[in-house]
Structure 1
Amino acid sequence: MELSIGTIALIIFILAVVFIGKTIQVVPQQHAWVVERLGKYHAILGPGLNIVVPFIDRIAYKHLLKEIPLDVPPQVCITKDNTQLQVDGILYFQVTDPMRASYGSSNYVAAITQLAQTTLRSVIGRMELDKTFEERDHINTAIVNAIDESATNWGVKVLRYEIKDLTPPKEILHAMQAQITAEREKRALIAASEGRRQEQINIAAGEREAAIAKSEGEKQAAINRAQGQAAAIIAIAQATADALRQTASAIREPGGADAVNLKVAEQYVNAFANLAKTNNSLVVPADVSNLSGMIATALQVVKSQSRETPR
């Protein structure tokens, strides 16, 4: 049966579309496609529009160039002190050489996974249990360095490895929790004792400072009282001396001696008058009638004192 012209044209159009679809290849960003020509490596197609030869070239491998997280399956490791420890981690890698990633290993993901597990067992086996919790950064760095050296031949760059979880056996976990509890109780007791010790020190220091302040206050008060008494004595003495000087000066004035005679006589008479009003026993001179002689004697004493007083 003969084909019509329209059918032939349709077939030619379909073949052209298929040919063009096989010729033009659009590679997404952050991707790399490996092209084989007649079964042999030919080229790597980068992001964008690419031209290949249909039915001769074929896209053999497609690689993602972004950073890829790889969950490493949990495994049981034996520490240096013969303790089982289950370790779970995650590995981050990136394809840097699509050609090597295609032909360097049949499955580079499985290869780096197995290498991460074996390296992890080796690193953990050289450490004690307590150190594994403290040296996570060291473990991560050691695993990355060991894997990256081998992964270079696979066209893969290992960026980092992170331990997600370290799980010891239940018996070891209970023992560690008991040790942590005991250590915290010990710290609490030490802190309480230090607090009581500091409290006693503060109280003793306060009492000492209070006693010193009190003694200083008493000392200053005694000094102030002594200085006040000394000042009072000096003031009284000074006033007495000034009174004596004024009395002596008044006596030397004209009529001063007569005034003194009159004053002494008045005081003498007043003194005897006051004594006579009381019931006290008195000792009086033998010659009470000779008042003028007694007054003269008193005046003589006053004159002698006035002469001795400095001007």
Structure 2
Amino acid sequence: MASFVFAVAAYVAGSIKIVNEGEAALVERFGRYQRTLSPGLNFTLPVIDTVIIDTTREQVFDVPPQDAVTKDVVQVKADAVVFWEIDDLYKVHYQVDDIKTAIESFVLTSLRTAISQMDMTELLSARSDLSSTLLQDINSVTDEWGRPHSAGGCEGSEV
């Protein structure tokens, strides 16, 4: 009888999942999406359900400096910082393999493209325009799975 009570207590304890504020959790039952858990106390089926917890807080991603060439063939060093947060954990988890790599690749491509369409004087005078252009480009792609807040920057130049 004591072992039965212990087994029931262990089962109940294993079914309780606490999701903290600033986090979301996905429940997969036998490998298939079941539901999304909100912050607070949640109940799942132990052994049958798998819980995947990830943060929905704002995150900062510093893209490493990259070499880029302006329209007038001046080589510059471009640096970007992206502030973003996950809006829909379901979409991020099932549509993107690695969100940080996806954001980094897209930011680098957008940054190089934007810089290549400006000459050096435009680039130096329009850094805020570059940031807003970069943010618009990122938003067009990431609206599906996240929400970047600000991005971009051209730190310095090397001729």
Pick one of 2, 7, 12 that aligns with 1:9. 2
1:46 is aligned to 2:38: yes
Give the secondary structure class of the aligned counterpart of 2:135. helix
Q: Are the aligned partners of 2:131 and 2:151 in contact in 1 as well (CA < 8 Å)?
A: yes
Pick one of 24, 30, 37 that aligns with 2:22. 30
Residue 146 (structure 2) aligns with? 156
By how many angstroms is 1:89 displaced? Answer: 1.6
By how many angstroms is 1:53 displaced? Answer: 1.2
Structure ranking higher on relative contact order (CA contacts 8 Å, 6+ apart): 2
Residue 122 (structure 2) aligns with? 131
**Separation (CA, whole Å) in 2 of partners of 1:65 and 1:127:** 36
Q: Are the aligned partners of 2:134 and 2:152 in contact in 1 as well (CA < 8 Å)?
A: no
Amino acid corresponding to residue 31 of structure 1 in structure 2:
E
Total equivalences in the alignment: 159
Residue 283 (structure 1) aligns with? none
Q: Are the aligned partners of 2:135 and 2:152 in contact in 1 as well (CA < 8 Å)?
A: no
Q: Which runs of 5+ in 1 are unaligned?
A: 1-7, 170-311
Give the secondary structure class of the aligned counterpart of 1:44. strand
Residue 93 (structure 2) aligns with? 102
Residue 69 (structure 1) aligns with? 60
Q: Are the aligned partners of 1:76 and 1:86 in contact in 2 as well (CA < 8 Å)?
A: yes
Q: Which runs of 5+ in 2 are unaligned?
A: none
Structure with greater proportional helix content:
1
Residue 263 (structure 1) aligns with? none
**Separation (CA, whole Å) in 2 of partners of 1:95 and 1:49:** 21
Matches within 5 A, 1:1-311: 9=2, 13=6, 15-59=7-51, 61-153=52-144, 155-163=145-153, 165-169=155-159
Runs of 4+ in 1 over 4 A off after TM superposition: none
Structure with greater proportional strand content:
2
CA RMSD of aligned residues (A): 1.6
Residue 292 (structure 1) aligns with? none
Aligned-residue sequence identity (percent) comes to 25
Q: Are the aligned partners of 1:63 and 1:95 in contact in 2 as well (CA < 8 Å)?
A: no
- Find the structure with the greater CA-based Rg: 1
Give the secondary structure class of the aligned counterpart of 2:34. strand
Give the secondary structure class of the aligned counterpart of 2:72. coil
